[in-house]
């Protein structure tokens, strides 16, 4: 009998990380893959990215509307509740042998809670990391304790998960699956990128990826300094849409107003994964507070200025410089990131978040697991492997 594995994806961000694990699961002869798309994937405001999943050849077992058209923390909380209601029906009918979740988005609390009630074992990717400036940190740790199999990006993250009381046999260092794109996907050439995006990438270009700081009551408080610093730069600026968090609409409005006064800038609602990764190797700098600036830019030795507190505590590769949320600090770090000394120091660097083989590792483990009954019975961390 085939093993039914359900995978939840909520947005363009986590789908880009899940792409190669989904490909491996879809191709495995002993797996019946069920993709569940919800939240921002079904939102026209955020690009209706559910179409990208279908275009990639993944049949979607359930499309669940649960993202409120809101820009507040109350809207976020209600979206979790709507997700629980929708997933209770979907997973209750589907009854997969395993549910695969990734990362730390607040929407992931909904499928984890439903799976707990329905006694469905959970596998979790990218636990054990730290991002103290976002509620994602608490979400990630909650998902770890609700899960039964763990795939971490780094060895330090693996040790953190074990230190949380998880049995070592359940915790596997696989690397970040987003890095599989750099080994397995054909990245676009500069000419192809320019044609697809309508940009002239022969001029110096900075990629800006900035999201609300959800641990703060005012989630966009640090934004003022960011835009004050960006105003001083002559470079072409390419903005990515923020996550669907409280404050995202304010950020979008601010970026749109900012770009009206510049001739060399663009805001993209949705960049397909391969387009985004290709852009990383064709810009000269990344600025913002996205986890992508921490986890993925190291594979290109791309100088990155991480702004503010959102990613506080996360392991840094050598290409990342941290700036306080002030105009002066951001500009100083941008200058340092472009200095010949810094550029020379990161030549030939390795990325601590993986080597591009995460999907193979994840699927190998998922398809050789013990029974659901053994997975569900979690013991003290000193217990032996069954």
Same domain, 339 and 365: no
Total structural domains in the chain?
2
CATH of the domain at 56: 3.40.50.2000
Residue 386 lies in a domain: no
| Sheet with 98-102, edge to edge strand ranges | 60-64, 31-38, 3-9, 98-102, 122-125, 149-152, 171-173
Please check whether residues 203 and 149 belong to one and the same domain: no
Report if residue 351 sits inside a domain: no
**Is residue 335 located within the same domain as residue 363?**
no
Question: Does residue 159 share a domain with residue 208?
Answer: no
CB 206 within 8 A of CB 237: yes
Residue with tokens 């510049």: 262
Looking at the domain assignment, is residue 195 inside a domain?
Answer: yes
Give pLDDT, residue 332.
98
| Model confidence, pTM | 0.94
Same domain? 171 vs 193 = no
The sheet with strand 285-288 has its strands ordered as 265-268, 236-240, 205-209, 285-288, 304-307, 320-323
Q: Are 368 and 341 members of one domain? A: no
133/250 same-domain check: no
* Whole-number Cα distances in Å, 177 to 76, 239, 275, 289, 296: 27, 24, 17, 20, 10
Q: Are residues 33 and 163 in the same domain?
A: yes
Tokens of 137: 């940190």
Looking at the structure, do residues 113 and 144 belong to the same domain, yes or no? yes
Domain residues for the domain of 200 are 188-345
DSSP 72: S
pLDDT at 383: 46
350 in any annotated domain: no
Instruction: Say yes or no: 306 and 368 in one domain.
Output: no
Answer whether residue 382 is part of any domain: no
pLDDT digits (tens, 9 = 90+) for 142-197: 999 999 999 999 999 999 999 999 999 999 999 999 999 999 999 999 999 999 99
Same domain as 78, residue 109: yes
Residue 384 lies in a domain: no
Query: Is 181 part of any domain?
Result: no
132 with 269, same domain: the answer is no
pLDDT beneath 50, residues of the chain: 383, 385-386
């Amino acid at each position: 009998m085939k093993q039914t594995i359900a995978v939840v994806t909520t947005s363009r961000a986590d789908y880009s990380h899940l792409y190669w694990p989904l490909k491996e699961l879809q191709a495995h002869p002993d797996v019946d893959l069920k993709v569940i798309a919800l939240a921002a994937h079904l939102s026209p405001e955020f690009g209706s990215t559910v179409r990208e999943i279908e275009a990639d050849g993944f049949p979607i077992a359930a499309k669940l509307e649960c993202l409120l058209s809101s820009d507040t923390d109350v809207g976020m909380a209600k979206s979790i509740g709507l997700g629980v209601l929708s997933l209770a029906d979907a997973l209750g009918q589907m009854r997969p042998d395993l549910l695969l979740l990734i990362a730390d988005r607040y929407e992931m609390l909904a499928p984890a809670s439903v799976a707990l009630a329905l006694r469905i074992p959970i596998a979790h990717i990218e636990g054990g990391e730290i991002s103290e400036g976002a509620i994602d940190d608490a979400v990630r740790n909650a998902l770890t304790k609700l899960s039964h199999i763990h795939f971490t990006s780094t060895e330090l993250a693996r040790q953190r998960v074990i230190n949380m009381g998880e049995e070592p046999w359940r915790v596997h260092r696989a690397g970040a699956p987003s890095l599989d794109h750099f080994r397995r996907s054909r990245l676009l050439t500069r000419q192809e990128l320019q044609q697809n995006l309508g940009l002239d990438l022969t001029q110096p270009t900075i990629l800006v990826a900035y999201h609300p700081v959800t641990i703060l009551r005012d989630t966009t408080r640090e934004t003022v300094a960011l835009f004050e610093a960006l105003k001083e730069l002559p470079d072409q600026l390419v903005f990515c849409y923020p996550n669907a968090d409280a404050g995202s609409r304010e950020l979008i409005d601010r970026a749109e107003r900012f770009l009206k006064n510049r001739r060399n800038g663009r805001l993209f609602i949705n960049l397909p994964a391969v387009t985004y990764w290709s852009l990383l190797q064709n810009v000269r700098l990344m600025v913002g507070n996205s986890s992508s600036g921490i986890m993925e830019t190291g594979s290109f030795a791309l100088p990155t200025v991480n702004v503010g507190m959102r990613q506080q505590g996360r392991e840094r590769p050598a290409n990342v410089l941290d700036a306080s949320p002030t105009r002066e600090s951001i500009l100083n770090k941008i200058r340092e990131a472009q200095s010949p000394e810094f550029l020379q120091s990161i030549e030939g660097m390795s990325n601590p978040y993986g080597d591009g083989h995460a999907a193979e590792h994840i699927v190998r483990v998922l398809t050789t697991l013990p029974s659901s009954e053994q997975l569900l019975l979690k013991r003290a961390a000193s217990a032996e492997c069954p």
